[in-house]
Amino acid sequence: MLVGVGGGALTDLVGFAAATYLRGIALVQIPTSLVGQVDAAIGGKTGVNLRSGKNLVGAFHQPIGVLCDFETIATLPERERVGGLGEVAKCWLLEGGFAAELNDVSLHDLIVMSVTLKAAIVSADEHEGGRRALLNYGHTLAHALEKVALARDGDELRHGEAVAIGLAFRRQVGGGVGSGRQQRSGATRRGAGLFWSQSSSPRGLSNVITLGSHGAR
């Protein structure tokens, strides 16, 4: 058995090792970051990055258990906590919530909501043949930005930060999913304000979006 203890990148790596060693061994994940608890350690997607894209080497390998200790979140640097809210906001929006309401919900409840949503979707569509694709919301631009950032500085942009930008961009361009599009779009931009402004669109945006299609989610 392998046990992964750490953030999302580490649980991804340990998951991939468990999937490939002896053609698959038991895995337990203990994510200690916000992104790890609400996203990376749940659902069985494992992978590592290549220079040509994110998560291009990986496998589906479900853990036999995921243990989330909420107290570890309090030990994280502020940037890790705030950045992790990108994935939380994605789940909140998929559940029909408004970004402006996020501050009124406790972090504990947001984590439970995110884990519950992802577990339900993955249980119905483990290998992303349909509904699981919803969990990629905001990730096309996010992965493209991550690839550009990684080529310059591995610490320039975290995954949750990139997702927050991707969500704001997706809502701005496409109007979002579901009803109340204009109201939700404005609320999303305000909720992702730490990472996005209309005046800070990436240069060569069409090229960046093209890069986003080269990574695996």
Read off the CATH number of the domain in which 21 is found: 1.20.1090.10
DSSP 8-state secondary structure symbol assigned to residue 178 = S
The reported pLDDT for the residue numbered 176 is 53
DSSP state letter for 107: H
Distances (CA, A) of 30 to 38, 94, 159, 202: 12, 25, 19, 35
Percent of the chain with pLDDT over 90: 55
171 catalytic per annotation? no
Residue 127: CB atoms within 10 Å:
10
From 54, 61, 118, 147, the catalytic residue: 118
How many structural domains is the chain composed of? 1
Range of the structural domain that residue 52 is part of: 2-212
Residue 217 lies in a domain: no
Active site (annotated) includes residue 101: no
Please give the backbone phi and psi of residue 60, each rounded to the nearest 5 degrees, phi first. -85, 125
Instruction: Say which of 143, 158, 184, 189 is annotated catalytic.
Output: 143
Active-site annotation holder among 90, 139, 158, 184: 139
Segments of the chain scoring below 50 in pLDDT: 179, 183-185, 187-188, 190-191, 193-206, 208-209
143 among known catalytic residues: yes
Domain presence at residue 150: yes
Report the pLDDT value the prediction gives residue 45, as an integer from 0 to 100: 95
4 membership: H or E segment, kind and range: strand 2-6
Q: Is 87 one of the annotated active-site residues of the chain?
A: yes
Does the predicted TM-score (pTM) go above 0.95? no
- Is 128 annotated as catalytic? yes
User: Does some domain include residue 30?
Assistant: yes
pLDDT, position 203: 43
Domain membership of residue 117 (yes or no) is yes
139 included as an active-site residue: yes
Decide: 110 and 89 in contact? Cβ < 8 Å. Answer: no
Is there a domain that residue 107 lies in? yes
- 80 belongs to the catalytic site: no
For the chain, what is the mean pLDDT? 83
φ, ψ at 90 (rounded to 5°):
-60, -50
Q: How many CB atoms lie within 10 A of CB 187?
A: 20
The catalytic residue among 54, 87, 146, 170 is 87
Q: Is the residue at 203 inside a domain?
A: yes
Catalytic residue at 45? yes
pLDDT at 110: 94
